[in-house]
Structure 1
């Protein structure tokens, strides 16, 4: 769970800082980017509904595709369809931003092998991992949580000064 929190908090931090500089990113849409950061980890549904169960229905399927740039982007496009037409462009950009942030942070994970998963599948490019932290490490979650809390406090201070 520390890894998931880190993905969500990182997107919050970046989008909140960007929202201070640009009108494109509205505060009410920041959670959309945070949802985008969750999309690649939908592949963990494999734990609850293993692929062989789906394959018994006659459908060849693997959850792994959700944890690739292509699979997560397709999922983002599908999710965008649930929003009103005038918001879809922003929503898609924010969802894909969350996806890219997630996959970028995953480059820093310590992998049991020297190769990373095929993040850019179907190109099957498997870049080496940088290997800074484990997905179970709590330090990244503590750092991003502290940064997010600091940003919230700064924003409250800024709002109080304007009033």
Structure 2
């Protein structure tokens, strides 16, 4: 759960800052980007419905891991954008859901993996991209990452609220 909290708070901080410069990005759209930051982890649906069960039902090889890629995240953002009413809202939702998902993938890049390589090759599937060495800054279970995300989000929250009061 600390990992999801980190992704959501990073998206909050990032897109709240974007809202300072892009007029149409208000708190509603920041929330959409925060939802987008969870999209790549929908690959964990395999905890409820295994790859093998889907393979059995479909009769073809299947893996949920494709959702934790750039292409899978963009596909999910497109599906999510269809839930919005107007074409303008769908475009904005797609941009912000995709942006939130990309922020998730970027935050995951410097993680420490057993083989010492980033997931860069996996993210770009099916485009062949080499797996680069990871700086190995943290593992997903590290709590300090969530603490840093909370601190950054809190600073952005305070700055955002103080900026609102000075505008009035």
Count the aligned residue pairs. 163
Whole-angstrom CA distance in 1 between matches of 2:89 and 2:57: 36
Q: Assess, with a 3 A threshold, how the Cα gap between structure 1 residues 59 and 72 changes in structure 2: closer, same or farther.
A: farther
Relative to the length of structure 2, the TM-score reads 0.89
Does the C-alpha gap of structure 1 residues 26 and 68 become closer, same or farther in structure 2, counting only changes over 3 Å? same
Query: Structure 1 residue 130 and structure 2 residue 149: aligned?
Result: no
Structure 2, unpaired ranges of 5+: none
Specify the alignment match of 1:66 in structure 2.
Answer: 67
Partner of 1:42: 42
Aligned partner of residue 38 in structure 2, secondary structure: helix
Q: Distance in 2 between matches of 1:15 and 1:101?
A: 10
Q: Does 1:147 align with 2:147?
A: no
Choose 87-96 or 16-25, whichever is displaced more: 16-25
Relative to the length of structure 1, the TM-score reads 0.92
2:108 maps to 1:103: no
Q: Hey, what's the Cα distance between the residues in 1 that align with 2:82 and 2:161?
A: 34
Root mean square deviation, CA, Å: 1.5
Where in structure 2 are the equivalents of 1:107-126 lying within 5 Å? 107-117=109-119, 118-125=122-129, 126=131
The 2-side partners of 1:128 and 1:103 are apart by 16
Partners of 2:16 and 2:160 within 8 A in 1: no
What do the CA deviations read for 1:37-62 (whole angstroms, capped 9, x no partner)?
10000011112211101112124321
Partner of 1:20: 20
Provide closer, same or farther for how the CA distance between residues 59 and 102 of structure 1 changes in structure 2, counting only shifts above 3 A. farther
Unaligned runs of 5+ in 1: none
